[in-house]
Each structure stands twice: as C-alpha cells, then as structure tokens.
A and B are shown apart, each in its own frame.
Chain A
Amino acid sequence: GIQVEQSPPDLILQEGANSTLRCNFSDSVNNLQWFHQNPWGQLINLFYIPSGTKQNGRLSATTVATERYSLLYISSSQTTDSGVYFCAVNTGFQKLVFGTGTRLLVSP
C-alpha cells in the first residue's frame, strides 16, 4: 500500500520562529489533507490541498502532486501551535492513509 512519511519527527521552536514540515508519499493520490491534533486528541483539519498552494493566516501549504510531496509552513509560531501535525492522503472513497506525524513544541 501507499507509504506516507513525515519529517522531521520532532521539532522544538521558540515562539515567533518559522518552520516547514514535509510530507512525502509513495504513489499518486486523489488528495492530501493536513491536520493538527491538539492536546485533547481532536484532529483539526488545516488544509485540503490536492495540489497548489493555500494560505490560512500564519499557516500555508503547498502540494506538488507530480513529485509526491507536500509542505506545511508555520510562520511566527505561537505556543498554541504545539501539538502533532499529520498529513493524510486519500486513496479511495474516504479512506485516509496518515503519515507518522511531526510533534511540534513551541516554547515561550
């Protein structure tokens, strides 16, 4: 089956710093989504981005489907950005294959 890898696995930042999270996938996909899992376990959908670039406030994402990767940019990080970030790819109906996640800690 399709493999989804994320890097880095862990990231520690000072508040105000910028970061880039990467997601590589091994095969063609229908779409790609980025999620943030908060400390209470809920997955918040950040982006639905099969290709191209989208921005939402301090966050932006780019997917290059032909090269099988996606990037999530976080600018001017805040402590509330802490948590685990997952990318997930869709391979059929609503079956998502999740990456291994990037655990982000933003310190004040």
Chain B
Amino acid sequence: KAGVTQTPRYLIKTRGQQVTLSCSPISGHRSVSWYQQTPGQGLQFLFEYFSETQRNKGNFPGRFSGRQFSNSRSEMNVSTLELGDSALYLCASSQAGAGEKLFFGSGTQLSVL
C-alpha cells in the first residue's frame, strides 16, 4: 500500500503570492489533516477534513484554507504569502474515526522570499 504522498516536495515563492499544496492519503483513508512545522513554533495543527467536510480547525489566519475531494485527496492553499509562512507543511491521513493512528507524508518545504 502506498503511503501518504505530498507534492511538491519543495517550493519557493515570493511575498504576496499564493500557493497550493497537494496531499494524497493512504488508500481507504478518509481523514486528512494538515500541520505546519517551524523551528520557532514547532508542529501546529492547521485543519482536518473528513468526507469533504472540515471537522476541526487550528488557530491560523483565514489566508490558510483547504479542501478535500470526493477521492479523499486534499489541497491546502495559502494566499498573500508572508515571510513567516516559510515552513514544512505536513499532511497526515487516518481511516476515519477520531483519535486514530496518524500516518504522515514527507511534507512540502515552502520557502517565502
């Protein structure tokens, strides 16, 4: 079974641009969640989707958004990029229920110049 796949692996953008990151969960997994990792703030929860619905959201500004498609694949979008958005963005999937074991992808390293 293939693991969680995130694309692209690396991204370089400039301030003010927008970016879209993609995540394909493990086959059969219906829950996808996103995390941001920075040296200063550590790993922080962004949002979680299940059956195309956002079930939970972290404490991030509205510039961060996401969606999930009917095949469980998910995208997250960051608009009007700021320097502080530079981070490793990690996607995780699980089968369905609350509190299940999470499986993470390798992440997308975003650099904002």
Point out residues on A near B: beta carbons under 8 Å: 30-31, 33, 35, 40-45, 48, 50, 86, 88, 90, 92-98, 100-101
Q: Which residue of A lies closest to B98 (CB)?
A: A93
Kindly list chain A residues whose C-beta atoms are within 8 Å of the C-beta of B56: 92-95
Kindly list chain B residues whose C-beta atoms are within 8 Å of the C-beta of A48: 100-101
Q: How far is the CA of A102 from the CA of B48 in the complex (A)?
A: 26
Kindly list chain B residues whose C-beta atoms are within 8 Å of the C-beta of A42: 104-107
Q: How far is the CA of A101 from the CA of B33 in the complex (A)?
A: 20
Does B64 sit at the interface, judged by CB under 8 A? no
Task: Evaluate contact between A43 and B58: CB separation under 8 angstroms.
Answer: no
Interface size on B, residues (CB 8 A): 28
Q: CB-CB contacts of B60-92 with A at 8 A, as 1s and 0s?
A: 000000000000000000000000000010101
Point out residues on B near A: beta carbons under 8 Å: 31, 33, 35, 37, 42-45, 48, 50, 55-56, 58, 88, 90, 92, 94, 98-107, 109
Kindly list chain B residues whose C-beta atoms are within 8 Å of the C-beta of A92: 56, 98
Sampled A-B contacts (16; CB under 8 Å):
A30-B99, A33-B101, A41-B106, A42-B107, A44-B104, A45-B102, A45-B103, A48-B100, A86-B43, A88-B43, A93-B48, A93-B50, A94-B33, A94-B98, A94-B99, A94-B102
Kindly list chain B residues whose C-beta atoms are within 8 Å of the C-beta of A96: 33, 35, 43, 45, 102
Kindly list chain B residues whose C-beta atoms are within 8 Å of the C-beta of A44: 104
Q: Which residue of B lies closest to A50 (CB)?
A: B99
Q: How far is the CA of A94 from the CA of B99 in the complex (A)?
A: 6
